[in-house]
Every structure is written in structure tokens, then in C-alpha cells.
Amino acid sequence: MAAETEGAASAELVRYWAQRQPQAFSVYRLVSTGRIVAFTARLALPTPPDPEDLATDPVVAAAWEYADATAPVSPGEHIGVSRFSVYPERYQVPSRVIDLSSSRAQAESARARGRAYGFAAWRDAETWAERVKGSLVDTGARPRVGEHTYGLFAVDWRREPVENWLRRFISATTEAPVRSGPSPVSRAAFDQAVREALTHWRDAGAFAAGALMRARLAADFGDPVEELRALLRETVDDLARDPRGVRGREALTAGYFSGAPTQEAAARRLGLPYGTYRRHLRQGLDLLCEALWQRELHGPAEAS
């Protein structure tokens, strides 16, 4: 699963940590069939850090570097790192797996003695920075593993009791109040909902449960799921009317609508280097979110 979603270098790190801390791993199975669908790993790393860990895992090295630069970990203390969250069918987007893993990490933090920091690593750093704003600090570190970079986010448990943090976490993950126009969601929450809708494009159940279904632009649809899907596809196609949106439309179509299993596969399908594909995809997402936001605010007649 790690090789499929994150590449061979990440898979090697899974092997490394499974040997050193097998108790850190949780495996998730479907209740109906018992099929393994996901795994997570939450590492507990005492001070001083193991030089082999630092040399092997760039994410763990970045966590220790941040700790040393901000408020060093004292003897007898340790850091916790939510190192892997791998659910190939819904990779690093909100899901039951992430909810369960987060709940377990919070419970472990509440019980732990001597935990100085908690860290979490996610690949889509910009999206997760917005998602955890107010509950975790973006360290600014972007460690690279193989072909991918990861955002590293932190909380210092010595400064804030877990109970207080949980209250802030609940508050931070509640939808923001309306800042302008008739939309019931903030612009940041809306953009996030669009991205998640695209991610869940091939999973009708997850798409129907997504936050975009609660946006105003879906309120008047007779068949909200199918009509919202049609609107997304139509808006993506319309991007090509503007020369700035041609590449973005191609990247969005290949990445979400074509059936490509990963974004790397989508890049190969377009014959593009992965970095170039990601640049076109980001531009396409920006244009798509802006077009849908205008419709959210003004309705179909005035949307641009």
C-alpha cells in the first residue's frame, strides 16, 4: 500500500519502522469482509534521537530538528510522530481511517507520560495546513522522501494540556462563519470541499457525504449528487475556453476523471514530468475553485 501511494522509498521506511516499532502500526480491515484496506503508524521516539533514525527517515529528522530549534526535548521525554496514514482508496483525505487514527493518537497523547511533542506528516501540505489551522502548527519543514515532499505539523504538549487542545481542535474543525456573499461556508472551506469532491469522484457514497453537498450551489438540485457531479465536470471542461485553463483542464481530467490510479499515472498518461503535471493541476484547481465560488455566490446566471 505504501509503494502504491507514496513510492518505493516510503515503502522501505515502512519496513524500517515495522522492524523497529511494530507496536506503532495499526491495520484497518473492512468489517464486512476482513480485507485489509489501510494502515497507520504512530511512532514514540525518546530523546536523545537515534542517529540511525535521523539518517534513515527525513520526516523524523525534520521533527527532531524542529524540536531542537524551538523547545528542546529534555531527558526522560519523547516525541510522538504520526508517521504514516495510508489508505489507497482515499489517500490522505478525510475518511474513517483518518478519524480513527486521530482519535487513537489523541487518546495516546492523553495517557502518555513525558511526551513533549506530537507531530503529523501529510503530503498535500497546503490543504492540510488549512485543515489543521488552529490546532497544529505548520513547522515549515517540507522533508522529501523519494519523489514526494511532506508537510510537518506539530503541537507542544508541554505548553497545552490535551483537554484544552481537544476543545480548540473541535472549534477549529467546525465550519467557519460566512465572511461574504450568501454562501454558508467560508472560501477556504469551499475550496477544500471542491478538492475533496474531486478526490471522491469514483466513490459515489463518499462523494454524496462530502462537504460540497452542503454548499449553496447544490441546494436547488433535484438530484444533488448527479447534478453536482455534472456541474463539476462541465466546469472543468469550460476551463479550456480560456487559454490559461487548457493545461489545467487536461490535468484535472487525467487526474480525477480518467480512471488513473495515481497522480503519477495521470502525469504519465499526459506525457508530462510529474512536477510539470502538478503545476498544471494546481492552476486548474485554482481556476475551478474560483469558477465554482462565483456560482456559489451569485448563482448560475452571474457565475464567471
Contact status, residue 153 vs residue 122, Cβ threshold 8 Å? yes
**Pairwise CA distance, residues 266 & 279, whole Å:** 13
Nearest to 135 by CA among 109, 113, 162: 162
Confidence band of 174 (pLDDT split at 50, 70, 90): very low
**pLDDT of 55 strictly over 60:** yes
Residue 301 has a pLDDT of 52
Reading the block at residue 237, the C-alpha cell is 471542461
Chain mean pLDDT for the chain: 86
Nearest to 59 by CA among 135, 119, 138: 119
Reading the block at residue 179, the C-alpha cell is 465572511
For residue 120, list its beta bridge partners: 82, 153
**pLDDT of 12 strictly over 70:** yes
pLDDT in tens, 194-222: 998 998 888 877 787 778 887 888 776 77
pLDDT in tens, 109-124: 667 788 899 999 999 8
Q: Does domain 2-172 have CATH number 3.40.630?
A: yes
Which percentage of the chain shows pLDDT scores above 70? 90
Q: Where are the domains of the chain?
A: 2-172, 187-298
User: What's the average model confidence in pLDDT over 88-107?
Assistant: 75
**Pairwise CA distance, residues 140 & 114, whole Å:** 25
Sequence length of the chain is: 304
Angle, in degrees to the nearest 10, between helices 224-238 and 187-199: 100
**pLDDT of 95 strictly over 50:** yes
**pLDDT of 159 strictly over 60:** yes
Residue 170 has a pLDDT of 56
**Pairwise CA distance, residues 154 & 166, whole Å:** 14
Confidence band of 67 (pLDDT split at 50, 70, 90): very high
Residue 59 has a pLDDT of 98
User: What's the average model confidence in pLDDT over 170-188?
Assistant: 54
**pLDDT of 172 strictly over 60:** no
Contact status, residue 54 vs residue 45, Cβ threshold 8 Å? no
User: What's the average model confidence in pLDDT over 283-304?
Assistant: 79
**Pairwise CA distance, residues 180 & 202, whole Å:** 32
Full-model pTM: 0.58
DSSP characters over 225-287: HHHHHHHHHHHHHHGGGSGGGHHHHHHHIIIIIS--SSHHHHHHHHT--HHHHHHHHHHHHHH
Residue 179 has a pLDDT of 38
User: What's the average model confidence in pLDDT over 35-40?
Assistant: 91
Nearest to 15 by CA among 2, 33, 29: 2
**pLDDT of 295 strictly over 90:** no
User: What's the average model confidence in pLDDT over 223-249?
Assistant: 90
User: What's the average model confidence in pLDDT over 54-63?
Assistant: 98
Cα-atom radius of gyration of the chain, to the nearest Å? 20
- As a 3-state breakdown, the chain gives helix, strand, coil percent values, each rounded to 5, of 55, 15, 30
Residue 166 has a pLDDT of 67
Look-up: residue for cell 464486512?
32
Look-up: residue for cell 481556476?
287
pLDDT in tens, 180-195: 445 667 788 888 889 9
The enclosing H or E element of 214 equals none
**Pairwise CA distance, residues 62 & 152, whole Å:** 8
Task: List the single range of 37-46, 57-66, 193-202 with lowest mean pLDDT.
Answer: 193-202
